[in-house]
Amino acid sequence: MTERYSRSAIEGFGAEQQKRLSEATVFVAGCGGLGSAALQYMAAAGIGTLIIADHDKVSLSNLQRQVLYTTDQIGMPKAECAAARLAAINPEIEIVAHTMAVDGDNFARLAALADMVVDCTDNYPVRGMLSKMCKAHGKPFIYASAEEMGGQVALFTPSCGVYYHELFASTPQQKPAVGVMSPMPGIIGSIEAAEAIKYLSGTGQTLEGRLLIVDMRELSFRIFDL
């Protein structure tokens, strides 16, 4: 392992696992609160190619939780700002940024290039569409959400037999505006990054076929089999 990744060497993770990460391509939908944490840790860990898509621009209200951005970037496209920051973190990986909405046509094209899809959106219909496309293309799909003082993470794969859109078929079509404690997306996004790294490198036990529910009000972590 190179000096950059030398501190990644732990039990069960060595040069072969690092090589697997370097050869992997991950499509990350959304560069907001969840994406701010997930993207930085996936880039730092050395995932070879990160494809990111977000049509939004940085706003002042984002900065309370979206720590990928700075005040002087307000009004700039998130995907472009994120790509620049990730390249500064790790210039050895490839970052492909798309300043566009994630819809069926766009996603089908981007998903075909990726080994895994990581959901960092906050939009129920888009999340459901991502899940459907992942199942159709046989792609592993990491789902996550963070609201108020809680969050959820799950990993769906072809071997699970069920995906997000089948479990949460009654999810509302329009998400109401909800606040979130500023560290919460960072906690959940970091777990997403850890799950992606474990799954792609073949290290440790993942959340495949399981749902993690985090409640920071009572500081509890619960896992349910799906």
DSSP line for 68-95? T--GGGTTSBHHHHHHHHHHHH-TTSEE
How many structural domains compose the chain? 1
pLDDT tens figures, 61-107: 999 999 999 999 999 999 999 999 999 999 999 999 999 876 667 77
The CATH number of the domain holding residue 108 is 3.40.50.720
How far is CA 174 from its chain centroid? Answer: 21
Question: Is 153:208 a contact under the CB 8 Å cutoff?
Answer: no
Q: Which helix (H) or strand (E) holds 34?
A: helix 33-45
Cβ count within 10 A of residue 208: 17
Question: Is 37:189 a contact under the CB 8 Å cutoff?
Answer: yes
The parent domain of residue 157 ranges over 3-225
pLDDT tens figures, 13-26: 999 999 999 999 99
pLDDT tens figures, 100-142: 876 667 777 888 889 999 999 988 888 888 999 899 889 999 9
